[in-house]
Amino acid sequence: MFKQILNNKYITLSARVLVGGLFIFTSISKLADISVFAKEIDNYNILPMYLINIFAVLLPWLELLCGLFLLTGIRIKANAIICIGLYSVFTLAILTAMLQGLSIDCGCHTKILSDKVGITKVLQNIGLLILSVYLFFFPVNKLSLESLIKSHSIDVTE
């Protein structure tokens, strides 16, 4: 019965909307001012200088595409893996900043919301990580663009 609850298309859709929508929202805020986002990455003191701009340019686009694909239900399992990786890295970066005693913005919502690194942010990321793991193991795509396309496709092998 528990597995039947987890396989519910509405629960999966809710998780997709939450994780995907948040990725879209945060990516747009980062894309609005990549230079500020690059400074926020640099504040963590983790990456070498030559990688900061690369990450500042590529990461928001990855988040945007992943968010759009989750929201529309395209390759849910593959995008859940990307989310798991990203939320794991984000959480480790925040924990590292906390251990260093840094009082910095997390860089999650550049220019829109000011979130400081801290236990609240760690717990938020762990919650989103759990939702991403859920989407990986229960990628019900009945309410998705991918299932719509599959249901209307013509089998040309016959």
pLDDT in tens, the chain (158 residues): 777 788 788 899 999 999 999 999 999 999 999 999 999 999 999 999 999 999 999 999 999 999 999 999 999 999 999 999 999 999 999 999 999 999 898 888 766 667 788 999 999 999 999 999 999 999 877 777 777 777 776 554 54
Q: Domains in the chain: how many in total?
A: 1
Domain that holds residue 23: 2-151
Residue 51 lies in a domain: yes
Residue 156 lies in a domain: no
Q: Which among 23, 28, 60 has a CA at the least distance from the CA of 41?
A: 60
Q: In angstroms, rounded to a whole number, what is the distance separating the alpha carbons of residues 21 and 29? A: 13
Q: Which residues make Cβ contacts (< 8 Å) with residue 135, sequence separation at least 6? A: 12, 15, 16, 19, 70, 76, 77, 79, 80, 83
Burial of 67 (0-12, 13-18, 19+ CB in 10 A): buried
**How many other C-beta atoms lie within 10 A of the C-beta of residue 82?**
18
pTM score of the predicted model: 0.86
Residue 69 lies in a domain: yes
Residue 158 lies in a domain: no
Residue 157 lies in a domain: no
Residue 58 lies in a domain: yes
Residue 108 lies in a domain: yes
